[in-house]
A and B are shown apart, each in its own frame.
Chain A
């Protein structure tokens, strides 16, 4: 039971990471690969946030000036995740625009058939 309590968050976020990696390595359709990339990014962001958690902690905001700062969670991973989410969105936007252009030139979204340059 304590094993589950200690590791459930890590199992959850790394589960997402491995599902995302599996989709990217195995699937053929470009849109499915892009969705897999998104799931991979989500998993890594969850992992980063879960590092900062403190038992029975609250958000690091001093809404009344007299709040005790001892029980606040770590604010640094939250700042890292803000940046990482935006970078994930930027890559996703570029990938989707490239998917539009691939469809226009090749007529198919199957990445195994988009192979004009070999060797």
Chain B
């Protein structure tokens, strides 16, 4: 019988054995993350049919739910852990050849532990356990951003660390206030004690604000995102792909879990709408004026997170499915973009866009991958970005609340046009300019091309045929909207 605890425990055990393998032979160390993430991917895909019938609730230690820690594996949890396993697996294949300097053994350990933290955070059903796994994720990413040890990386890492540490302290304060008021740490139990009223009293609003601020630092929503451009552009490219593709989504998951399952009152969802739109506009406008390609991609990540938060704030089944689908599509596209850019930077030696002139002819497969990723992010038809953005706009149109939503949809389309503008500018430099210096560059090595090709296949396949994913997304959005069902699964009869 497959048990979802193995999704967290087996990679953790493999991470502990990496130094022991390092004593035997240094070469086997880079295969261990591939094995761990492959196991996770297979296990999550095997668990999806079981979870679709009935969500699994497991207790750790054998005691009944409010008196122990429990894992609540619902459709949302298994969807996110499958995405994490897929992207982790592909980037670990890429990193087998990309990471050569520094202490490679320690990189592999930190990489596995980052993904263990992410998987644990989406599967758990206890709020202090969410804090602990969130800290595992954040602390590994502080260490990985400074991995190369150059001056840019260290500066980005120290600023990220200070802001992240303040954020997690705020989250701990929120947990303390909730424990003092309700006397329990289980998410379903706290949700049972918070009645669904229309307006929220101040004594409950303060823990909610502390949670949004604390997890919002990791999610990079509007006033708290000044660490992101530095961190995602100074990290090694494989880590940038993981940070943009997975780590910031876990921050959004935390905010959404607290807002929908713990609190769940309809008057607070408008907050998410406004934060989302402001973040979207700031991200896209700032990306338009960048000349450093990784910084441009980092600002584009901020914009996409704004779009995801906006979609989740619409709080109807279509809106939340659209937001979750956008999480999947952005993770795939942004990982593809960062992995392609990684080797382009390595061959030309600089991150400035003007030095990429004419690479389209010398590194054809890599540039094709970049182009496909860019088209998918903008939302052009045969790729995965199109159904996800279409679903979001349709959800916003269906919510007939007057002129406000029409204005918001206009702003979303305006941001999409700006995205198209800056990506087309880069593609023009890649293919249509000539440069004598880049005449003799070879394409990326085989172990880097394999993940690029697999990601492209996924983007095309789900873009053309999104039906199998839609069922899972619809069940996940029902899970978020119905707080009472969640309480009934975990605690028996509500």
CB of A11 within 8 A of chain B?
no
Q: Do A98 and B161 form a contact, CB below 8 Å, given A90-B139, A91-B139?
A: yes
What is the bound-complex CA distance between A80 and B152, given in angstroms? 36
**B170: nearest residue on chain A (CB-CB)?**
A44
Q: Do A51 and B180 form a contact, CB below 8 Å, given A33-B162, A95-B161, A98-B146?
A: yes
**B290: nearest residue on chain A (CB-CB)?**
A119
What is the bound-complex CA distance between A115 and B132, given in angstroms? 32
CB of A76 within 8 A of chain B?
yes
Residue interface mask B155-189, A partner, CB < 8 A = 1: 11110011001101100110110011000010000
A7-40 contacts to B (CB < 8 Å)? 17, 21, 24, 30, 33, 37, 40
**B129: nearest residue on chain A (CB-CB)?**
A83
From A47, A76, A98, give the contact of B158 (CB < 8 A). A98
CB of B491 within 8 A of chain A?
no
Nearest CB on A from B165, distance (A): 5
What is the bound-complex CA distance between A77 and B152, given in angstroms? 40
A116 touching B172, Cβ below 8 Å:
no
Q: Do A117 and B155 form a contact, CB below 8 Å, given A94-B143, A98-B146?
A: yes
**B179: nearest residue on chain A (CB-CB)?**
A51
What is the bound-complex CA distance between A63 and B362, given in angstroms? 76
Most buried by A among B135, B152, B172, B179: B172
Chain A interface, DSSP helix/strand/loop, else mixed: helix
Number of A-B contacts defined by CB within 8 Å: 84
CB of A101 within 8 A of chain B?
yes
Chain B interface, DSSP helix/strand/loop, else mixed: helix
From B143, B158, B169, B176, give the contact of A102 (CB < 8 A). B158
Q: Do A101 and B152 form a contact, CB below 8 Å, given A90-B139, A95-B158, A117-B230?
A: no
What B residues does A41 contact at CB under 8 A? 169
From B132, B135, B139, B173, give the contact of A47 (CB < 8 A). B173
CB of B128 within 8 A of chain A?
yes
B128 touching A80, Cβ below 8 Å:
yes
Most buried by B among A30, A33, A105, A115: A105
What B residues does A59 contact at CB under 8 A? none
CB of B234 within 8 A of chain A?
yes
Nearest CB on A from B385, distance (A): 28
**A101: nearest residue on chain B (CB-CB)?**
B154
CB of A54 within 8 A of chain B?
no
CB of A72 within 8 A of chain B?
no
What is the bound-complex CA distance between A21 and B165, given in angstroms? 11
A17 touching B173, Cβ below 8 Å:
yes
What B residues does A106 contact at CB under 8 A? 151, 155
What B residues does A99 contact at CB under 8 A? 158
Chain B positions near chain A (C-beta within 8 angstroms): 128, 132, 135, 139, 142-143, 146, 149-152, 154-158, 161-162, 165-166, 168-169, 172-173, 175-176, 179-180, 185, 229-230, 233-234, 295
Chain A positions near chain B (C-beta within 8 angstroms): 17, 21, 24, 30, 33, 37, 40-41, 44, 47-48, 51, 76-77, 80, 83-84, 87, 90-91, 94-95, 98-99, 101-102, 105-106, 111, 114-117
> Top 7 closest A-B pairs, CB basis?
A105-B151, A101-B154, A51-B180, A98-B158, A48-B176, A91-B165, A87-B135
